Amino acid sequence: MNPTGNGAGASFIEPARELAVIDEADVIVVGGGPGGFGAAISAARNGASAVVLERFGALGGTWTYGILSAIMTNTSVRGIFTEFQREMERRGGWRWWTEGDPSSGGNYDSEVAKVVLDEMASHAGVRIYYFAQVTHVFKSEDGRRITGVVIQSKEGRHVVTGKIFVDSSGDGDVGALAGVPYELGRNGDHALQPMSMIFKLDNIDTARAEAYLQTDLNCLRAWQEAKSLGEVTVPREDVLLQPMPKPGQWQFNATRLLGYDGTKLRDVSAATTEGRRQVAQIAAFMRNRIPGFEKAIVAETAPHVGVRETRRIRCDYTMTSDDIRQARKHPDAIARGNWWIDIHNPEGEGIAAEEGGVITQHDGNKLGPAYGDWYEIPYRSVTARGLDNLLIASRCLDSTHAAHAAVRASQQVCAIGEGVGAAAAQAVARKLATVREVDIREVQERLRQAGALI
């Protein structure tokens, strides 16, 4: 994890020092995104003590620090995610795309989400440490168990110990720090999906904007014209935009940041700068060319650039595109998904085929289960290889580049977390020697009782 660059090969030796243990719990969840949120609440509701260690200042990950603001329609997930949705709606922070359809996606307010996520976690009894980045892991002498993780905070470095550890860092930090093998990007050149900096514009005349978009979906015509004149240089084919619950506010998932690796210090820095440059360019395009947006001002850019894909931690089973395309079911399923193989092209515009090249610029050719059908996420794809007490509840579970592009949908990741949390709680309650001894049938039954689809 050493950044490369202008250090001229110089290095310093850090003196050994004693680190105090500041907390311990049955289940330690690293990262409080959709996966970590689901895992911590589920572990706590199933009787375990649970701690979340989060490097930023809110739960939600891409939901909040990435200000995602849109969660897609999905027929395969209920449980904790649906509770979150309903609570968001109750507080005016969620707008359904199809009223009365519990599978419907919607747009949400990320500030309301921060409060709802905090409260749901606190009510479940989860202890949260914000601004606590995990930087190191300690392992048992035989190397098979993680015994503690080191957090870096303003107070220095401390250790948090636990019985079961859950990697929900998105980037697979815990797995990588523990020496579990991982994969990066697609086969061959290891290219990763592009990052995007989500942003919001305020001051929009929504009625006029919606009327215009009826005639020019995703601003495609205006965008292509502006691109041909060199007014915009963003390597995307159109502008994905949606009205927010807040009147006059719209969200944009329209930047495309190519060639960056979210686990590299210099890449994340450069992507952040380039993301803001693209935001300014898109905002100017909207003001100049799209009716209803003439007075638009940038209300917010994501505090953290959105990272779609980084490490995929090797576990006991690698999910493949066949699992997704054939809507495969598994006896040890812990969650369902029905999102398709959605590979944002690592090289430029459009959606990429598994083997490279662009398959479609829009929503034709979607590769995944039919509406209402689903694939299942097996428990074996979250049991980290070579370790007895590390589970993955995050987009970094074991999958190919293509399968990852489907599984990563945020509500599915939340459901995977819910499954992982229930399994972790059982492993603690039964003092199991390894997470591989968990009785998955019983976990599935608990998940069903809690309202999850399994």
Ligand X SMILES: Cc1cc2nc3c(=O)[nH]c(=O)nc-3n(C[C@H](O)[C@H](O)[C@H](O)COP(=O)(O)OP(=O)(O)OC[C@H]3O[C@@H](n4cnc5c(N)ncnc54)[C@H](O)[C@@H]3O)c2cc1C
**Site residues, ligand X (CB under 6 A):** 30-36, 53-56, 61-62, 65-66, 68, 70-72, 133-134, 168-171, 173, 196, 198, 253, 306-308, 394-395, 408-411, 413
Measuring CA to CA, how many Å separate 365 from each of 182, 196, 404, 451?
A: 30, 23, 18, 32
Which residues, at least 6 apart from 353, have a Cβ–Cβ distance to it below 8 Å?
A: 343, 359
DSSP string covering 176-227, please?
HHTT--EEESSTTT-PPPPBB--EEEES--HHHHHHHHHHSGGGHHHHHHHH
Q: Minimum distance from CB of 437 to ligand X (Å)? A: 25
Q: Minimum distance from CB of 320 to ligand X (Å)? A: 18
- Per the CB < 8 A criterion, the answer to whether 193 and 262 are in contact is no
Q: Minimum distance from CB of 54 to ligand X (Å)? A: 5
Q: Minimum distance from CB of 32 to ligand X (Å)? A: 5
Give the residue with the Cβ less far from ligand X, 1 or 297. 1
Q: Minimum distance from CB of 189 to ligand X (Å)? A: 21
* Continuous H helices in 6-162: 34-45, 80-90, 110-124
Give the residue with the Cβ less far from ligand X, 253 or 301. 253
Q: Minimum distance from CB of 20 to ligand X (Å)? A: 18
Nearest to 339 by CA among 290, 246, 406: 406
Give the residue with the Cβ less far from ligand X, 65 or 379. 65
Which residues, at least 6 apart from 123, have a Cβ–Cβ distance to it below 8 Å?
A: none
Residue 408: φ, ψ to 5°: -65, -15
* Continuous H helices in 262-388: 265-289, 321-325
* Distance of alpha carbon 205 from alpha carbon 227, whole angstroms: 24
Give the residue with the Cβ less far from ligand X, 204 or 392. 392
* 347: its two tokens: 């090289």
Give the residue with the Cβ less far from ligand X, 55 or 200. 55
Q: Minimum distance from CB of 57 to ligand X (Å)? A: 9
* 454: its two tokens: 């399994």
Give the residue with the Cβ less far from ligand X, 219 or 432. 219
Give the residue with the Cβ less far from ligand X, 389 or 394. 394
